[in-house]
Structure 1
């Protein structure tokens, strides 16, 4: 697939086709990490790092609900393997 670099104000822009955006799960406003690797421009969807995700795991958020406890205490009912 080829795209063309266009002038956009004092910058340049690349328009990404809808099919490519859908395949990557991107929307307008999504953030991409951009780098040069071995002479190639590489763009990838950026997201939180593992450290950032783990930082949101507080004891309050990790506490089991009553529904969780009931589910965990249930016996297998089908062909589950534990």
Structure 2
């Protein structure tokens, strides 16, 4: 494990705040702009870990009849005809 101590400045970003992570750190962790990370706050420490992307097999395994079934509202919306100047 490679341990590195860095000082980063918390910067204002819109209504929130952010840290600028050096490119070399992103590359070391296999991250890029837009990557998703897990953040944990424990005992006054902020821990940020890369969140691995699920594989296709993992995503498909999460699809069950219960969580992919269409609701009555979905069925009504899908069976509605055009209401304006849509081109079908």
- TM-score in terms of structure 2 length: 0.54
Question: Per-residue displacement from partner, 1:30-60 (whole Å, max 9, x unpaired)?
Answer: 00101102220010011257xx83827xxxx
* Pairs aligned (count): 55
- TM-score in terms of structure 1 length: 0.57
CA distance in 2, matches of 1:26, 1:9: 23
Runs (4+) off by over 3 Å: none
Q: Secondary structure at the match of 1:33?
A: strand
Given the alignment, which residue of 6, 9, 13 partners 1:8?
Answer: 13
- Of 17-26 and 36-45, more deviation after overlay is shown by 36-45
Cross-structure match for 1:24: 29
Superposition map of 1:1-80 within 5 A: 1-48=6-53, 53=58, 55=61
Instruction: Give the unaligned 5+ runs of structure 1.
Output: 57-82
